[in-house]
Amino acid sequence: MTSLIASPALAPDDLPVVRMKPKTNARAIRHGFPWVYANELVTDRRTKALAPGTLAQLQDDARAPMGIVAVNPTSKIIARMLDQDPTAHINQAWFETRLTKALAARSRFFDAPFYRLIHAEADGLPGVVIDRFDEICVVQPNAAWAEMLLAQLTAALQSVTGVTTVLKNAAGRTRGLEGLDDINAVLAGRAPDGPVQVPMNGAIYMADLLGGQKTGIFYDQRPNHAFAAAMSRGARVLDVFSHVGGFSLAALAGGASTALAVDGSQPALDLAEAGAGAMGVQDRFGVLKGDAFDALTELRAQGREFDVIICDPPAFAPARPALEAGLRAYERLARLAAPLVAENGILGLCSCSHAADLSAFRVASVRGIGRAGRRASLIHTGFAGPDHPQLPQLAESGYLKSIFFQL
């Protein structure tokens, strides 16, 4: 287990001060926008010398206090708002208050402790993601301030939730942008001996909490899994970019006749097969390892046809410079998948790209379907579940889009 040493919490009066430049949009910060960009902050020698993750008091250009922020001079997001109360103490008790509110919100919607507990800025912990798996929580501290205060966060997490094990997942590009390491760790308790079972929508998923993608499971697709399952009774289902069987296992739980999962990761497909075995549906479940675009081309060459196809790729446009290439990839995916859909069948297309908004993603998808010679009716638009709340001031918090067409 990693030994965590709690850094002392400074009193607000002892914090360094950082100041916004004149003519910057301080009003947006006061109204809830959580980020200050590097070109909006006075970056004098003293500010540049602050260690990444340093807590500071933010002032506007008239020196009026605006709140407590976490500063990272090496990041384009140079300051993240933690608390608009300039007298706030960012300590274990502060974390406990945030976590208690988040736990109460999840308890309204879920009767089992399997959900995203903290969704970063939307839950008041900028850059922090926490997924819960019963007695285990997996923390992604994707901002330098959270890494510095990981001991307090871990203690607060155990105090509020009663979990016995807390794991640190250090994967992802965001930590690299913050200058952080990519080393996973056990922060409290004992790591599980193997994959853990995650019940969701009547399916059983196997999650590798230490070596899997992200935290081991994608809770955000839960309502879209449920919608696809409702469309899949008696259907032949194809789940492309399946990971551990997200849509395919939900479809089988919903009564699909068969499901085929396609993914480039053999470990992910092994977990999907283990989930199917735990559900007792392995005789109706198959896997295909390979590049998704190549697999769709090969399935068409074989004359295969499916009643429901869902494509849930990784982010093709994770940032604005990749937007055009990403939209072309979404169009190509729709063009290759559409010919495999049976008449009056369902095609579900998903995007987790921050840079591609719903309108642009929908246009690219419809263009791809049209280029395949199919006519589409849009029957449903889905988003992430209530354990992935959106911060209205931050468009990036509403990243997930799922659109379902009847062809």
Beta bridge partners of 263: 289
Establish how many alpha carbons lie within 13 A of residue 239's alpha carbon, considering only the half-sphere containing its beta carbon.
29
Residue 5: per-residue pLDDT: 47
| Six token digits for residue 243 | 């990971």
Residue 316: per-residue pLDDT: 96
Residues 187 and 1: their CA atoms lie apart, in Å, by: 6
From the list 137, 311, 350, 352, the catalytic residue is 352
Instruction: Answer whether 92-188 and 196-406 agree in fold.
Output: no
Per DSSP bridges, beta strands 258-263 and 236-240 are parallel
- Number of residues written out for the chain: 407
The structural domains of the chain, with segments of one domain joined by +, span: 12-83, 92-188, 196-406
- Report in angstroms the alpha-carbon separations of 102 from 44, 95, 220: 37, 11, 16
Residue 3: per-residue pLDDT: 44
Laid out side by side, the sheet with 165-168 consists of: 114-119, 128-133, 136-141, 165-168, 185-188
Residue 10: per-residue pLDDT: 65
Q: Are 269 and 287 in contact, with CB atoms under 8 Å apart?
A: yes
**Catalytic (active site) residue 352:** yes
Residue 18: per-residue pLDDT: 97
Which fold, 196-406? Answer: Rossmann fold (3.40.50)
Residues 37 and 319: their CA atoms lie apart, in Å, by: 16
- CATH of the structural domain 12-83, one choice from 1.10.10.10, 3.30.930.10, 2.30.130.10, 3.90.470.20: 2.30.130.10
| Six token digits for residue 108 | 């309204």
Amino acid letter at 377?
S
Question: Quick one: how far is CA 386 from the chain centroid?
Answer: 13
The residue ranges of the chain whose pLDDT is under 50 are 1-3, 5-6
Q: Whole-angstrom distance between the N-terminal and C-terminal Cα of the chain?
A: 52
List, in order, residues 6 or more apart from 24 with CB less than 8 Å away. Answer: 40, 61
List, in order, residues 6 or more apart from 118 with CB less than 8 Å away. Answer: 98, 99, 102, 125, 128, 129, 130
Residue 303, classed as helix, strand or coil, is coil
Q: Is CATH 3.30.750.80 what the domain over 92-188 is classified as, yes or no?
A: yes
Phi, psi of 126 (to 5 degrees): -55, 130
